[in-house]
Amino acid sequence: MLSIGDLSKRTGVKVPTIRYYEQMGLIAAAERSEGNQRRYERSDLERLAFIRHARNLGLDIPAIRELIALSQHPSEPCANADRIAADHLAAVREKIERLRKLEHELERIVSQCDGGHSIEDCYVIRALSDHGLCESEH
Amino acid sequence: MLSIGDLSKRTGVKVPTIRYYEQMGLIAAAERSEGNQRRYERSDLERLAFIRHARNLGLDIPAIRELIALSQHPSEPCANADRIAADHLAAVREKIERLRKLEHELERIVSQCDGGHSIEDCYVIRALSDHGLCESEH
DNA sequence: GATAATTGCTACAGTCACTAGAGCTTCAAG
DNA sequence: CTTGAAGCTCTAGTGACTGTAGCAATTATC
Protein backbone atom coordinates (compact mmCIF):
# COMPACT_ATOMS: atom_id res chain seq x y z
CA MET A 1 0.00 0.00 0.00
CA LEU A 2 1.41 3.34 -1.07
CA SER A 3 0.74 6.78 0.30
CA ILE A 4 -0.03 9.56 -2.15
CA GLY A 5 3.53 10.83 -1.66
CA ASP A 6 4.98 7.42 -2.56
CA LEU A 7 2.81 7.28 -5.66
CA SER A 8 3.95 10.78 -6.56
CA LYS A 9 7.62 9.91 -6.22
CA ARG A 10 7.27 6.75 -8.25
CA THR A 11 5.39 8.30 -11.14
CA GLY A 12 6.75 11.83 -11.16
CA VAL A 13 3.19 13.18 -10.90
CA LYS A 14 2.87 15.82 -8.21
CA VAL A 15 0.68 15.14 -5.20
CA PRO A 16 -1.94 17.83 -5.91
CA THR A 17 -2.08 16.66 -9.50
CA ILE A 18 -2.94 13.13 -8.37
CA ARG A 19 -5.78 14.49 -6.27
CA TYR A 20 -6.86 16.56 -9.25
CA TYR A 21 -6.93 13.49 -11.49
CA GLU A 22 -9.07 11.74 -8.90
CA GLN A 23 -11.46 14.68 -8.95
CA MET A 24 -11.54 14.60 -12.75
CA GLY A 25 -12.44 10.94 -12.68
CA LEU A 26 -9.22 9.66 -14.28
CA ILE A 27 -8.36 7.50 -11.30
CA ALA A 28 -10.80 5.87 -8.93
CA ALA A 29 -11.17 7.43 -5.48
CA ALA A 30 -8.52 5.65 -3.47
CA GLU A 31 -9.18 3.61 -0.35
CA ARG A 32 -8.48 5.48 2.84
CA SER A 33 -6.45 4.67 5.95
CA GLU A 34 -8.02 4.96 9.37
CA GLY A 35 -6.85 8.55 9.46
CA ASN A 36 -8.52 9.31 6.10
CA GLN A 37 -5.35 9.27 4.04
CA ARG A 38 -5.32 7.82 0.53
CA ARG A 39 -3.78 4.37 0.08
CA TYR A 40 -2.84 3.09 -3.35
CA GLU A 41 -2.10 -0.26 -4.95
CA ARG A 42 0.13 -1.36 -7.77
CA SER A 43 -2.69 -0.98 -10.28
CA ASP A 44 -2.94 2.72 -9.45
CA LEU A 45 0.73 3.08 -10.30
CA GLU A 46 0.08 1.71 -13.76
CA ARG A 47 -2.99 3.81 -14.28
CA LEU A 48 -1.15 6.94 -13.30
CA ALA A 49 1.78 6.10 -15.56
CA PHE A 50 -0.69 5.70 -18.42
CA ILE A 51 -2.20 9.09 -17.69
CA ARG A 52 1.15 10.80 -17.38
CA HIS A 53 2.32 9.32 -20.61
CA ALA A 54 -0.79 10.42 -22.42
CA ARG A 55 -0.47 13.93 -20.97
CA ASN A 56 3.17 14.08 -22.03
CA LEU A 57 2.00 13.33 -25.53
CA GLY A 58 -0.34 16.28 -25.21
CA LEU A 59 -3.67 14.46 -24.99
CA ASP A 60 -6.28 16.32 -23.00
CA ILE A 61 -8.23 14.96 -20.08
CA PRO A 62 -11.45 14.06 -21.91
CA ALA A 63 -9.39 12.12 -24.46
CA ILE A 64 -7.57 10.29 -21.70
CA ARG A 65 -10.83 9.51 -19.96
CA GLU A 66 -12.10 7.99 -23.17
CA LEU A 67 -8.93 5.96 -23.70
CA ILE A 68 -9.17 4.61 -20.17
CA ALA A 69 -12.79 3.65 -20.71
CA LEU A 70 -11.83 1.91 -23.94
CA SER A 71 -8.96 0.05 -22.34
CA GLN A 72 -11.43 -1.55 -20.00
CA HIS A 73 -13.20 -3.35 -22.82
CA PRO A 74 -10.36 -5.42 -24.26
CA SER A 75 -12.49 -7.24 -26.79
CA GLU A 76 -14.06 -4.16 -28.38
CA PRO A 77 -12.59 -2.95 -31.65
CA CYS A 78 -9.92 -0.31 -31.28
CA ALA A 79 -11.09 2.06 -33.98
CA ASN A 80 -11.95 4.72 -31.42
CA ALA A 81 -8.57 4.60 -29.74
CA ASP A 82 -6.99 4.87 -33.13
CA ARG A 83 -9.15 7.85 -34.01
CA ILE A 84 -8.28 9.70 -30.81
CA ALA A 85 -4.58 9.33 -31.47
CA ALA A 86 -4.92 10.21 -35.15
CA ASP A 87 -7.02 13.29 -34.38
CA HIS A 88 -4.45 14.42 -31.88
CA LEU A 89 -1.67 13.90 -34.38
CA ALA A 90 -3.55 16.06 -36.86
CA ALA A 91 -3.98 18.77 -34.23
CA VAL A 92 -0.28 18.67 -33.42
CA ARG A 93 0.56 19.04 -37.10
CA GLU A 94 -1.71 22.04 -37.41
CA LYS A 95 -0.05 23.70 -34.45
CA ILE A 96 3.35 23.09 -35.96
CA GLU A 97 2.21 24.61 -39.23
CA ARG A 98 0.93 27.69 -37.50
CA LEU A 99 4.06 28.11 -35.42
CA ARG A 100 6.22 27.69 -38.50
CA LYS A 101 4.53 30.66 -40.11
CA LEU A 102 5.02 32.69 -36.95
CA GLU A 103 8.65 31.66 -36.82
CA HIS A 104 9.09 32.84 -40.38
CA GLU A 105 7.49 36.19 -39.80
CA LEU A 106 9.32 36.82 -36.54
CA GLU A 107 12.61 35.79 -38.11
CA ARG A 108 12.11 38.33 -40.83
CA ILE A 109 11.14 41.06 -38.41
CA VAL A 110 14.00 40.40 -36.01
CA SER A 111 16.60 40.11 -38.73
CA GLN A 112 15.83 43.63 -39.93
CA CYS A 113 16.48 45.08 -36.53
CA ASP A 114 19.87 44.88 -34.88
CA GLY A 115 18.86 46.79 -31.76
CA GLY A 116 21.38 49.48 -32.54
CA HIS A 117 19.10 52.36 -33.44
CA SER A 118 16.16 54.26 -32.02
CA ILE A 119 12.56 53.22 -31.52
CA GLU A 120 11.55 55.67 -34.17
CA ASP A 121 13.28 53.59 -36.83
CA CYS A 122 12.80 50.23 -35.14
CA TYR A 123 11.63 47.62 -37.58
CA VAL A 124 10.03 45.56 -34.81
CA ILE A 125 7.73 48.42 -33.88
CA ARG A 126 7.12 49.44 -37.49
CA ALA A 127 6.23 45.90 -38.52
CA LEU A 128 3.74 45.60 -35.68
CA SER A 129 2.16 48.93 -36.53
CA ASP A 130 1.80 48.15 -40.20
CA HIS A 131 0.49 44.77 -41.18
CA GLY A 132 1.33 45.64 -44.77
CA LEU A 133 4.97 44.92 -43.97
CA CYS A 134 4.14 41.27 -43.35
CA GLU A 135 4.64 38.56 -45.89
CA SER A 136 1.77 36.31 -44.91
CA GLU A 137 -1.59 36.59 -43.30
CA HIS A 138 -1.82 35.71 -39.65
CA MET B 1 -16.06 59.17 -33.16
CA LEU B 2 -16.53 55.41 -33.21
CA SER B 3 -18.61 53.24 -30.95
CA ILE B 4 -17.01 50.12 -29.53
CA GLY B 5 -18.93 48.08 -32.10
CA ASP B 6 -17.55 50.17 -34.96
CA LEU B 7 -14.04 49.75 -33.60
CA SER B 8 -14.64 46.04 -33.32
CA LYS B 9 -15.83 45.71 -36.91
CA ARG B 10 -12.94 47.72 -38.26
CA THR B 11 -10.21 45.84 -36.42
CA GLY B 12 -11.69 42.37 -36.15
CA VAL B 13 -11.23 42.47 -32.37
CA LYS B 14 -14.37 41.41 -30.53
CA VAL B 15 -16.18 43.90 -28.35
CA PRO B 16 -15.56 42.16 -25.02
CA THR B 17 -11.90 41.76 -25.99
CA ILE B 18 -11.58 45.52 -26.51
CA ARG B 19 -13.01 46.11 -23.04
CA TYR B 20 -10.63 43.48 -21.71
CA TYR B 21 -7.64 45.26 -23.29
CA GLU B 22 -8.76 48.48 -21.68
CA GLN B 23 -8.90 46.73 -18.33
CA MET B 24 -5.42 45.29 -18.91
CA GLY B 25 -4.08 48.76 -19.63
CA LEU B 26 -3.25 48.15 -23.29
CA ILE B 27 -5.54 50.93 -24.47
CA ALA B 28 -6.43 54.07 -22.57
CA ALA B 29 -9.88 54.24 -21.03
CA ALA B 30 -11.98 55.74 -23.80
CA GLU B 31 -13.97 58.93 -23.54
CA ARG B 32 -17.66 58.37 -22.88
CA SER B 33 -20.81 59.63 -24.51
CA GLU B 34 -23.51 61.31 -22.42
CA GLY B 35 -25.03 57.89 -21.93
CA ASN B 36 -21.73 56.42 -20.67
CA GLN B 37 -20.84 54.58 -23.87
CA ARG B 38 -17.24 54.41 -25.07
CA ARG B 39 -16.29 56.68 -27.97
CA TYR B 40 -13.08 56.11 -29.93
CA GLU B 41 -10.87 58.08 -32.27
CA ARG B 42 -8.67 57.16 -35.19
CA SER B 43 -5.64 56.77 -32.95
CA ASP B 44 -7.43 54.02 -31.03
CA LEU B 45 -7.90 52.17 -34.29
CA GLU B 46 -4.16 52.16 -34.85
CA ARG B 47 -3.39 51.15 -31.33
CA LEU B 48 -5.79 48.26 -31.49
CA ALA B 49 -4.41 47.11 -34.84
CA PHE B 50 -0.95 47.10 -33.27
CA ILE B 51 -2.18 44.99 -30.38
CA ARG B 52 -4.01 42.58 -32.60
CA HIS B 53 -1.02 42.16 -34.82
CA ALA B 54 1.24 41.48 -31.87
CA ARG B 55 -1.26 38.97 -30.45
CA ASN B 56 -1.48 37.24 -33.82
CA LEU B 57 2.26 36.84 -33.68
CA GLY B 58 1.81 35.20 -30.29
CA LEU B 59 3.19 37.92 -28.04
CA ASP B 60 1.64 37.97 -24.59
CA ILE B 61 0.03 40.96 -22.94
CA PRO B 62 2.95 42.03 -20.71
CA ALA B 63 5.21 41.97 -23.78
CA ILE B 64 2.73 44.07 -25.74
CA ARG B 65 2.41 46.49 -22.86
CA GLU B 66 6.16 46.91 -22.89
CA LEU B 67 6.29 47.41 -26.65
CA ILE B 68 3.61 50.07 -26.43
CA ALA B 69 5.50 51.84 -23.68
CA LEU B 70 8.66 51.71 -25.79
CA SER B 71 6.89 53.02 -28.87
CA GLN B 72 6.05 56.14 -26.96
CA HIS B 73 9.69 57.08 -26.58
CA PRO B 74 10.77 57.36 -30.23
CA SER B 75 14.26 58.56 -29.48
CA GLU B 76 15.21 55.80 -27.06
CA PRO B 77 17.33 52.96 -28.40
CA CYS B 78 15.35 49.99 -29.62
CA ALA B 79 17.41 47.26 -28.03
CA ASN B 80 14.54 46.29 -25.73
CA ALA B 81 12.02 45.97 -28.53
CA ASP B 82 14.50 43.87 -30.38
CA ARG B 83 15.04 41.66 -27.36
CA ILE B 84 11.31 41.09 -26.84
CA ALA B 85 10.88 39.95 -30.42
CA ALA B 86 14.01 37.81 -30.34
CA ASP B 87 13.01 36.16 -27.06
CA HIS B 88 9.62 35.39 -28.49
CA LEU B 89 11.16 33.92 -31.60
CA ALA B 90 13.29 31.67 -29.42
CA ALA B 91 10.21 30.56 -27.49
CA VAL B 92 8.36 29.79 -30.72
CA ARG B 93 11.28 27.71 -31.91
CA GLU B 94 11.31 25.74 -28.69
CA LYS B 95 7.62 25.02 -29.00
CA ILE B 96 8.11 23.82 -32.55
CA GLU B 97 10.90 21.53 -31.43
CA ARG B 98 8.77 20.02 -28.74
CA LEU B 99 5.81 19.54 -31.03
CA ARG B 100 8.02 17.92 -33.64
CA LYS B 101 9.03 15.28 -31.15
CA LEU B 102 5.40 14.68 -30.26
CA GLU B 103 4.50 14.47 -33.90
CA HIS B 104 7.17 11.85 -34.41
CA GLU B 105 6.07 9.72 -31.51
CA LEU B 106 2.38 9.96 -32.37
CA GLU B 107 3.11 9.16 -35.99
CA ARG B 108 4.89 6.03 -34.95
CA ILE B 109 2.13 4.99 -32.58
CA VAL B 110 -0.68 5.66 -35.01
CA SER B 111 1.04 3.95 -37.92
CA GLN B 112 1.22 0.70 -35.98
CA CYS B 113 -2.51 0.66 -35.44
CA ASP B 114 -4.96 0.45 -38.29
CA GLY B 115 -8.04 0.43 -36.08
CA GLY B 116 -8.99 -2.96 -37.40
CA HIS B 117 -8.43 -5.11 -34.34
CA SER B 118 -9.40 -5.23 -30.69
CA ILE B 119 -8.41 -2.98 -27.79
CA GLU B 120 -6.50 -5.89 -26.32
CA ASP B 121 -3.99 -5.74 -29.15
CA CYS B 122 -4.27 -2.03 -29.81
CA TYR B 123 -0.89 -0.45 -30.22
CA VAL B 124 -2.20 2.96 -29.18
CA ILE B 125 -3.26 1.63 -25.79
CA ARG B 126 -0.16 -0.54 -25.42
CA ALA B 127 2.17 2.33 -26.22
CA LEU B 128 0.50 4.55 -23.64
CA SER B 129 0.67 1.83 -21.01
CA ASP B 130 4.31 1.08 -21.59
CA HIS B 131 6.67 3.96 -21.96
CA GLY B 132 9.35 1.48 -22.95
CA LEU B 133 7.72 1.29 -26.37
CA CYS B 134 8.63 4.93 -27.01
CA GLU B 135 11.63 6.02 -28.98
CA SER B 136 12.35 9.24 -27.16
CA GLU B 137 11.86 10.72 -23.74
CA HIS B 138 8.96 13.08 -23.28
C1' DG C 1 -43.46 60.61 -31.46
C1' DA C 2 -43.93 55.76 -30.08
C1' DT C 3 -42.10 51.50 -30.27
C1' DA C 4 -38.96 47.85 -31.33
C1' DA C 5 -34.46 46.09 -32.32
C1' DT C 6 -29.86 46.57 -31.68
C1' DT C 7 -26.05 47.84 -29.22
C1' DG C 8 -23.85 49.09 -25.05
C1' DC C 9 -22.97 48.93 -19.94
C1' DT C 10 -21.15 46.37 -15.55
C1' DA C 11 -20.07 42.45 -13.06
C1' DC C 12 -19.38 37.80 -12.54
C1' DA C 13 -18.65 32.82 -13.98
C1' DG C 14 -16.39 29.60 -16.97
C1' DT C 15 -12.51 27.78 -19.92
C1' DC C 16 -7.88 24.22 -19.20
C1' DA C 17 -4.78 21.67 -16.40
C1' DC C 18 -3.01 22.44 -12.97
C1' DT C 19 -0.52 25.23 -8.81
C1' DA C 20 -0.34 27.73 -4.42
C1' DG C 21 -1.98 28.78 -0.05
C1' DA C 22 -4.56 28.57 4.45
C1' DG C 23 -5.69 26.06 8.27
C1' DC C 24 -6.12 21.88 10.00
C1' DT C 25 -5.06 16.53 11.11
C1' DT C 26 -2.30 12.32 10.88
C1' DC C 27 1.82 9.76 10.66
C1' DA C 28 6.76 8.11 11.40
C1' DA C 29 11.08 8.70 13.75
C1' DG C 30 13.82 9.52 17.66
C1' DC D 1 5.98 11.99 23.71
C1' DT D 2 7.30 15.32 20.93
C1' DT D 3 8.43 17.19 16.67
C1' DG D 4 8.48 17.77 11.84
C1' DA D 5 7.03 15.99 7.58
C1' DA D 6 3.30 14.64 5.02
C1' DG D 7 -1.61 14.47 4.39
C1' DC D 8 -6.42 16.44 4.37
C1' DT D 9 -10.15 19.90 2.34
C1' DC D 10 -11.34 24.04 0.32
C1' DT D 11 -10.57 28.15 -2.18
C1' DA D 12 -8.33 31.14 -5.38
C1' DG D 13 -5.11 32.16 -9.06
C1' DT D 14 -2.93 31.38 -13.78
C1' DG D 15 -3.75 33.70 -19.38
C1' DA D 16 -6.48 35.61 -22.56
C1' DC D 17 -10.27 35.75 -23.31
C1' DT D 18 -15.67 34.18 -23.83
C1' DG D 19 -20.38 33.84 -22.22
C1' DT D 20 -24.22 35.24 -19.46
C1' DA D 21 -27.49 38.14 -16.79
C1' DG D 22 -29.83 42.12 -16.11
C1' DC D 23 -30.01 46.45 -17.17
C1' DA D 24 -29.55 51.31 -20.01
C1' DA D 25 -28.80 53.83 -24.28
C1' DT D 26 -29.05 54.36 -29.02
C1' DT D 27 -30.85 53.70 -33.67
C1' DA D 28 -34.32 52.27 -37.00
C1' DT D 29 -38.90 51.66 -38.26
C1' DC D 30 -43.67 52.84 -38.29
Where on strand C do bases come within 7 A of a protein Cβ? 7-11, 16-21, 25-28
Last residue of a domain, which of A71, A101, A121? A71
Could you report the per-residue pLDDT of A59-114, keeping only the tens digit for each? 999 999 999 999 999 999 999 999 999 999 999 999 999 999 999 999 999 999 87
Please indicate, yes or no, if residue A138 is contained in any of the structural domains.
no
- Number of Cβ atoms within 10 Å of the Cβ of B106: 23
Give the largest CA-CA distance in chain B: 70
**Are A54 and B128 inside 8 Å of each other by CB?**
yes
> How many Cβ atoms sit within 10 Å of the Cβ of residue A124?
26
Which of B15, B18, B25, B81 shows the shortest CA–CA distance to B48?
B18
Residue B81 or residue A133, greater confidence:
B81
Q: How far apart are CA A135 and CA B28, in angstroms?
A: 30
Q: pLDDT tens across A18-67, in order?
A: 999 999 999 999 999 999 999 999 999 999 999 999 999 999 999 999 99
> Does residue A66 lie within any of the structural domains?
yes
Query: Is B46 in the same domain as B102?
Result: no
Q: Which of B50, B71, B92 is the last residue of a domain?
A: B71
Number of domains in chain A: 2
Same domain, A87 and A114: yes
B-chain CB neighbours of A131 within 8 Å are 49, 53
B55 with B105, same domain: the answer is no
Chosen for mutation from A10, A11, A57 (greatest number of chain B CBs closer than 10 Å) is A57
**For A78, which DSSP code?**
S
Domain span at B39: 4-71
Q: Give the Cα separation of B49 and A129 in Å (integer).
A: 7
In a domain, B41, yes or no: yes
My answer on whether A100 and A60 are in the same domain is no
Q: What local confidence, expressed as pLDDT, does residue A132 receive?
A: 83
What is chain A's length? 138
Domain at A39, CATH number: 1.10.1660.10
Q: Note whether residue B138 is domain-resident.
A: no
The pLDDT of residue A6 is above 80 = yes
> Do A117 and A87 fall within a single domain?
yes
Q: Tell me the sheet residues that pair with B2.
A: B40
